Amino acid sequence: MRVREAGAALLGLVLAGCGAERLEEVSGAVEQQRLAVAALEARLQALESVPELSFILSEYHVQLEEQMFQPLLKSSARLQATGDSVPHTFYVDMLLQVEVPSEGFVAVNRQVFPVFEGKSRVELTQVLPIHGLGKEDIKVTLRPMNWYGSQRIPEARVTYQE
């Protein structure tokens, strides 16, 4: 019986020895996977980082056109994005809000514009309710609202220049 116990003990030692090598292999593979996951997480974090952009609207023009059946307001400006890392190409959602208080008229028009190398020329139009309006009769708001994947632009990050 002692021989049997010794053989079982020897077999146990041999199996434990094989198990230790296999355990080291598995531990090494787990460590490699942990490093790969950490590298992917770092890359994903770099891709998801959103730069803080500010926007400057300049060369702003409002033009009223008295067309035969419908007066039209044309609004245009030069948009420039500034910040630490401005993407080469992205899109900006622009808002044009036109109010004619004497007529109780409010219209909102939104359009998406591409921005290349931080610059874009934006032009939006809005039909007016009546003929004969002057610029002093109309309140016009032109401002960027969102950029590149619904990043909201706070008013504090928009500057208007002459």
Per-residue pLDDT tens digits for 123-147: 999 999 999 999 999 999 999 999 9
Reported pTM: 0.67
Q: Are 94 and 112 in contact (CB under 8 A)?
A: yes
> Residue 147: what residue type?
W
What's the rounded Cα separation, in Å, for the pair 25 and 5? 30
SS3 158: strand
Instruction: Kindly report the number of other CB atoms within 10 A of residue 122's CB atom.
Output: 19
Strands 139-147 and 105-116 come out as unpaired
Per-residue pLDDT tens digits for 148-162: 866 888 898 898 987
Per-residue pLDDT tens digits for 76-134: 999 999 988 888 899 999 999 999 999 999 999 999 999 999 999 999 999 999 999 99
* Residue 149 CA, distance from chain mean position: 4
What's the rounded Cα separation, in Å, for the pair 93 and 153? 10
Q: Are 91 and 112 in contact (CB under 8 A)?
A: yes
CA atoms within 13 A on the CB side of 42: 6
CATH class (in words) of the domain with range 53-160: mainly beta
Handedness of CA 7, 10, 16, 17 (dihedral sign): negative
State the distance between the two ends of the chain, measured CA to CA, in whole angstroms: 102
